[in-house]
Structure 1
Amino acid sequence: MAKIISMPKLSDTMEEGTVVKWNKKIGDKVSEGDILAEIETDKATQDFEIDVNGILLFIGVKEGEKTRVDDVLAIIGKEGENINHLISKSKKQKEKKEEEKKDDRIFISPLAKKMAKSRGIFINDIKGSGEYGRIVKRDIESYERKKSKKDLESKSHSTMRKSIAKHLTFSKFSAPHYYLFSKICVDELIDLRKNLNEKLSYEEKISFNDIIIKAVALSLKKHPDMNVSWDEEKVLYHSNIHIGVAVAVKDGLIVPVIRNADKKSLLQISKDIKDKISRSKLKKIQPEEIENSTFTVSNLGMYGIESFTSIINTPNSSILSVGSIMRIPIVKNSEIKIGNIMKITLSCDHRIIDGVIGSKYIDSLIKFLEDPIRILL
């Protein structure tokens, strides 16, 4: 008997998925354990492993197209089996879902509804001019006229971009942000990195970000009241220190996690970051590798950004923004000298981290980075 294969929920926040590639075509034999398709979620591109045997009889989503979780992805059955009833049923269910989604709290006349459906118009974009805000025929016609006057190119939001927008909007408007700004003299940090890299191969080179992440983790160890998450009933203290590293990828941002960063050497952190950044950009990183961070670091210094603020990556309660290293005049030992200065910004959730707690944390971080040999001890 033929079986409907639905779009799987491949992450805890996934609402829809995009079929990047089909590894089978209609008429192919499939066996349990085969990778049927590659699916892009809101977090990564993953292989979808099939758990049935049979013949691929129907493909419900073309490559490059997306559909919601639980919608029909494919149908697998016996060769020559009649599946018209299943296809018809799936189409009706999908149409019903779309109808319910469009009609939710929206008043519209039957004629206007028919016009919108036949012309592919999303009625949530239309403001009704009828009684009680009801959408009527003239509203559909007016919307089409305005739309035809616009000479704009458009591109649908990717699944990842929509997820990022939803997550950051929730964070910004649920967690009251405040920001702590500071400067760090990194002369000794530069010297330490240079000395370390002289002893390492090209593939093993340590970056400034690697050292910063280690210092961030060690500072969290000294200040466990920073390694926390907000809960409506209690404060959640994390026993482990997992540092999220913001990485720019096509269509958005992804945050791979360096687990137990306080316990890892600089070389281990460096290798871990290189591997995860590489796989993040190829969309091959797994969901569990971008979950459960306790603190996040965002570094735009390599792009020449002097300083900036970041939105907290909830359920974290803080995020560190790292700017570029600048050579500027500084006062040292009562003399004006040229020094290397790096600006940092700590964004905190004021519900759980007060200014004094955040300031003490920054003080520890500065001490590690201005006297970086302490990181290696």
Structure 2
Amino acid sequence: MPTELKMPALSPTMEEGTLAKWLVKEGDAISSGDILAEIETDKATMEFEAVDEGTLLKILVEEGTDGVAVGTVIAMIGEEGEEVGDVSSAAPEAKSAPEAAPTPDKGYGRDSAPAPESKAVAPAAPKSDGSRIKASPLARRLAEAQGIDLSTLTGSGPNGRIVRADVDAAAGKGGAKAAAAAPAASAPAPAAAPAEVEPLDIPHEVEKLSNMRKTIARRLTEAKQQIPHIYLTVDIQLDALLKLRSQLNKSLEDRGVKLSVNDMLIKAQALALLEVPECNVSFAGSNLIKYSRADISVAVSIDGGLITPIIENANERSLSSISTGMKELAGLAKEGKLQPHQYQGGTASISNMGMFGIKSFDAVINPPQAMILAVGAGEKRPYIIDDSVQIATVMSATGSFDHRAIDGADGAKFMAAFKKLVENPMALVA
């Protein structure tokens, strides 16, 4: 009997992906461990390995298909010459854009095992004419909760797909029955789908958003809507740190290690989080999660977006270990080869835009974390040293804190601890 090959969950938060490329064709013999396809998730392009042996009988989802839900049957494997027959679990239609947020990463858990097959989206109910009702999962849930018959609606989404706006419009016209029990007050309402924008009547081109860019847009919107940010800025003298960096790099030449300023700032942030543990937390509704080590997510710009590989246990690692680890992770990020455990989690983030000459900026918190450090460029400025105005290399750093979890005073303590560590950098190597 043929075996169904289903769209895998390549990360704990993955709900859908793009089947970017098939690396095998129908009729090819398959062995366990063979690479079958490349799948684009919201963070990276990853390889999909076979776990069964046999012959690839039929490809059901063509390469280049966007929005393929986890659990969708994408191909059939069996004995050579075996009939495929009917697919027992019909593939949900590909979605043009996600309308519901993925399940959030719980704290900084490292579980990267595929989600159970029960995550597969159920097939759509047929219309009276035998065709499938085209509707997004969010629209289906809202319609069911409000007693709206999807077959009575006309979809305004791509290819006539019913989306949330159609269900909301029907509810506003009195088409809904009594609503089901209201969700718990602590559960945030799903973010409204962005309105379609017609291009201006001037020469232009329309570029399709990647899964990564869609995810960035959704998560940043949710973060700014749901997290009350508080911003605290300090000016930090860098001269001592720059001098120590120069000395350390000279001593590390034989090992091929070259420390960056950012490597040293990662260490300083980690130590400051352990010194002020009130900031090494996550807000979890009625609970506050307190972490006993500092895993630092470092913002790395890549083609098409941003990703945050993690320096685990940065508070206990040496500067050389942070430096080599960061170079390896940044290289994998730019190649799109990071594994989920390398970018999902982290207890706090750092974003450094000093290399672009940015003096200061406010960064958006990366949930479920409760703080992010935004670092600007070091520049020569007039600075008070020993009660006299002198020229010093000064950097502005701004901490963004989740005010639900972190009080302003605790945020100020963290910024003071970070400033002290950077201005007295021997503590970074002690």
TM-score (normalizing by structure 1): 0.86
Name the residue aligned to 1:293: 346
CA RMSD, 1 decimal: 3.1
- CA distance change for structure 1 residues 162 and 98 in 2, over 3 Å: closer, same or farther? farther
Partner of 1:302: 355
The number of aligned residues is: 364
8 Å contact 1:218–1:262 — kept in the other structure? Answer: yes
> What's the counterpart of residue 365 of structure 1?
418
Q: Secondary structure at the match of 1:42?
A: coil
The answer on whether the counterparts of 1:207 and 1:270 sit within 8 Å (CA) in structure 2 is: yes
Does the C-alpha gap of structure 1 residues 132 and 3 become closer, same or farther in structure 2, counting only changes over 3 Å?
same
Distance 2:414 2:408 in 1: 10
Distance 1:2 1:361, change over 3 A: same
- Is the contact made by 1:16 and 1:159 (CA closer than 8 Å) also made in structure 2? no
- Report if aligned partners of 1:185, 1:341 keep a CA contact under 8 Å in 2: yes
Rounded Cα–Cα distance in structure 2 between residues aligned with 1:189 and 1:94: 59
Name the counterpart of 2:382.
329
Give unpaired runs (5+ residues) of structure 2. Answer: 94-121, 126-131, 176-197
User: 2:48 — aligned with what?
Assistant: 48
- Give the match for residue 288 of structure 2: 235
Identity %: 38
Cα distance, 1:257 vs structure 2: 0.8
In the TM superposition, what are the counterparts of 1:243-262 in structure 2 within 5 Å? 243-262=296-315
The whole-number CA distance in structure 2 between the counterparts of 1:21 and 1:152 is 29
CA distance in structure 1 between the partners assigned to 2:151 and 2:345 by the alignment: 48
Say if 1:323 and 1:98 are closer, same or farther in 2 by CA, change over 3 A: farther
Residue 102 of structure 2 corresponds to residue 101 of structure 1: no
Is 2:19–2:39's contact at 8 Å kept on the other side of the alignment?
Answer: yes
Q: 2:210 matched to 1:165?
A: no
Aligned match of 1:176: 228
Query: Offset of 1:152 from its aligned partner?
Result: 4.6
Corresponding residue for residue 120 of structure 1? 159
In the TM superposition, residue 150 of structure 1 has moved relative to its aligned partner by: 8.3
DSSP 3-state at the match of 1:289: helix
Residue 59, structure 1, aligned to residue 59, structure 2: yes
TM, length-normalised to structure 2: 0.76
Q: 1:146-161 counterparts in 2 under 5 A?
A: 152-161=204-213
Question: Any idea what SS the aligned residue of 2:136 has?
Answer: helix
Gaps of 5+ in 1: 135-145
Matches within 5 A, 1:179-190: 179-190=231-242
Paired AA for residue 190 in structure 1: L
Cα pair 2:133 2:151 within 8 Å, conserved: no
The amino acid that maps onto 2:308 is V
1 CA distance for matches of 2:335 and 2:383? 42
Distance in structure 1 (CA, Å) of the matches to 2:346 and 2:367? 9
Inter-partner Cα distance in structure 2 for 1:362 and 1:246: 19
More helix by share: 1
Question: Structure 1 residue 100: deviation in Å?
Answer: 3.5
Could you tell me how far apart the structure 1 residues matched to 2:389 and 2:90 are? 78
Deviation per CA, 1:303-329: give whole Å up to 9, x if none: 111100111111111110000111122
